[in-house]
Amino acid sequence: MYDICQGTNEIYLEADISSRNEPIKPLKSQINKASLISGYLRDVIWNNKHMSIDSKVRIYKTCVRPILIYGIETRADTNKTKCMLRTAEMNTLRSIAEKALRDRVRNATIKQTCKVEDVIRWGRKRRRCCRDYVESCVEWKSSW
């Protein structure tokens, strides 16, 4: 007679809100968008021999990384989401450093070359800053 739908999905501000905790679906969308931008920049910037690695990394941090880590302050970290974020970041950093997987260069070496902090560690710092800011606002408001 009546259909009761247990798991509903709503779209609010282009975000898929679900009654189930599914952090992977929106994260895949973000990773696809960041990879698409990185792909657009590959021929123009990443493969440019006349640009320094520092300039390329600044462009990465400005254009690609914000899309990749959008919402990291509030998203729960699971092993799968961490792995997905690290893989997406390393794909771009390998393009910047001009090292393919077949070159067998370790990820840590590429991160040192590019002078980039791990995306998960960076996200934890952002989460702490966000939490500290909210706590300071609550303390400030309670002092009224």
How do residues 101-117 score in pLDDT, each as one tens digit?
999 999 999 999 999 99
**How does residue 14 score in pLDDT terms, banded at 50, 70 and 90?**
low
Q: Residue 18 above 80 pLDDT?
A: no
Q: Using the 8-state DSSP alphabet, how is residue 75 labeled?
A: S
Query: Distance between CA 109 and CA 135 in Å, rounded?
Result: 37
Name every residue whose Cβ is closer than 8 Å to that of residue 112 and which is 6 or more positions away in sequence. none
Q: Mean of the pLDDT values across residues 44-61?
A: 95
Query: Distance between CA 48 and CA 43 in Å, rounded?
Result: 7
- Predicted model pTM: 0.77
- The closest alpha carbon to 93, from 81, 83, 105, 82, belongs to 105
Angle between helices 79-97 and 24-41 (to 10 degrees): 0
